[in-house]
Structure 1
């Protein structure tokens, strides 16, 4: 590569980084660079959520619907407590939690940015109880609060801008056109939140954070391993959301490494809410330390899981 191309690449990289905002992911401590604002992401995700719920068929099973809402609300309280205790309450100020169970046979669930959670009935035969449901709902909440959607969109923006810059368009690429590119990618990608495939690293991070959130809410994190084993045994019946999930053995090994830390939260460690909810294990029904010490520990376990 000649000097001119090296200089061009260096400038392009600096430009793309300068366009973004650096943020630290809660729990894991990972740094991320975001090129889309919360306002952009939340507005678009709300539009897609409303459009989806307008056509979705809600479950007619009142007991299971109540269970999903109960687990979701308990997790939301734990997440809010963690963010408040760590001076991060502003990150959730535009969240308005909603929890829905829809009549769909897929083993699936998702959480839109802004706290809109949907669980499919097809997931319940795999969760089987509230703690296991908390693991998967916590996983989906983690994707949202870790800003994984915004991070995926930011990657697309950088890729698009990078191609233009390295293709010789640098002279025409000013602040205005950079903003235009960001707006275009947001418009193109923003209405695909439900079908967005996260990276395997994002999935491992969501496993990490979701397990901690479930433990904070008073659910036994040890149910996570048998739950994911059940999911692995029924892959043929699962949605595409699991196509980018880590290999089963890698996922389970990562969860087992994190378990001692998760159990500290479950047993009322200093990072968990002051008064965790009672530990319960209701079965589904059928109609017919210091916070810094724990953050570092979870972060190191996440990095090990990537290896």
Structure 2
């Protein structure tokens, strides 16, 4: 089987198995692992992480993380209910924790488990900045990006196995493995990841606006993120994330649309 046929085979499998729909974009998404299996595993991994790290509680900052998370989650539920997705969040178990770590990062696990590191708070510069980050992370959870990444990784492995079975000549097989590793990563997995980040940026912007936070702050946040990075970043096509400039431009362009969306829910002034 030629390399091109292997790729076609993988594409056909992915189309057949694309049985979930992103409620925000209406796009079909990869869902080889159902949430009924994925969520309990994610919850257990999250609990394990919390036992192995210093979780900060009882402070103004930890209270802010929880408060913002709850407001964003309520906004998400309002949006989903208004757009015909009642019950979408039934299996989600929202939890927001602040962890003592200098890393400039925050992340979400499938099913609504979210962590903020203390290292990102100085760049957030307050509640609205935290809301921009929180909206992005909640969006990842709502759009089932973890499920999609896992599914894509499984298909990537299937392609590698199929190629190694189909190609009998060892030299040709070695060439295939090198080409497939680079090609599937740069040509498929990295663009896939960047598309998730862009999707989460836009969905998160809308959610923070519906929650009453000024969406203009999101672009300002990424300007600060860019300054903090010192311009050290790989070329966009080799990165899992869009470039800082791409994100800033997108968020600036989308902010008026987010305000218009918030207005549908009676939100016309922002924090």
TM-score by length of 2: 0.80
**Gapped regions of structure 2 (runs ≥ 5):** 167-190
1:60-99 alignment, distance < 5 Å? 62-99=59-96
Alpha-carbon deviation of 1:110? Answer: 1.1
Hey, what's the Cα distance between the residues in 1 that align with 2:9 and 2:104? 45
Alpha-carbon deviation of 1:13? Answer: 4.1
> Cα distance 1:131–1:152, how it changes in 2: closer, same or farther (>3 A)?
same
Indicate the residue corresponding to 1:258 in structure 2. 254
Hey, what's the Cα distance between the residues in 1 that align with 2:90 and 2:4? 43
Alpha-carbon deviation of 1:101? Answer: 1.2
Contact 1:12 1:165 in 2 (8 A): no
1:72-221 alignment, distance < 5 Å? 72-168=69-165, 199-221=193-215
Range that drifts further, 93-102 or 213-222: 93-102
| Aligned partner of residue 47 in structure 1, secondary structure | helix
1:208-287 alignment, distance < 5 Å? 208-235=202-229, 244-266=240-262, 268-269=263-264, 272=265, 276=267, 279-280=270-271
Contact 1:106 1:122 in 2 (8 A): yes
Hey, what's the Cα distance between the residues in 2 that align with 1:131 and 1:15? 42
Contact 2:14 2:30 in 1 (8 A): no
Contact 2:205 2:215 in 1 (8 A): yes
| Aligned partner of residue 111 in structure 1, secondary structure | strand
Alpha-carbon deviation of 1:60? Answer: 5.2
> Cα distance 1:166–1:211, how it changes in 2: closer, same or farther (>3 A)?
same
Contact 1:24 1:30 in 2 (8 A): yes
Alpha-carbon deviation of 1:228? Answer: 0.6
Alpha-carbon deviation of 1:12? Answer: 5.4
> Cα distance 1:278–1:64, how it changes in 2: closer, same or farther (>3 A)?
farther
State how many pairs are aligned.
245
Per-residue CA deviation, residues 82-126 of structure 1 (Å, 9 max, x unaligned), is 112222233311111111111112111111111111111111101
Contact 1:109 1:119 in 2 (8 A): yes
Alpha-carbon deviation of 1:81? Answer: 1.2
TM-score by length of 1: 0.71
Indicate the residue corresponding to 2:15 in structure 1. 17
Hey, what's the Cα distance between the residues in 1 that align with 2:200 and 2:228? 21
Alpha-carbon deviation of 1:258? Answer: 1.1
Contact 2:20 2:30 in 1 (8 A): yes
Hey, what's the Cα distance between the residues in 1 that align with 2:146 and 2:244? 23
Contact 1:115 1:141 in 2 (8 A): yes
Hey, what's the Cα distance between the residues in 2 that align with 1:8 and 1:58? 46
Contact 1:137 1:210 in 2 (8 A): yes
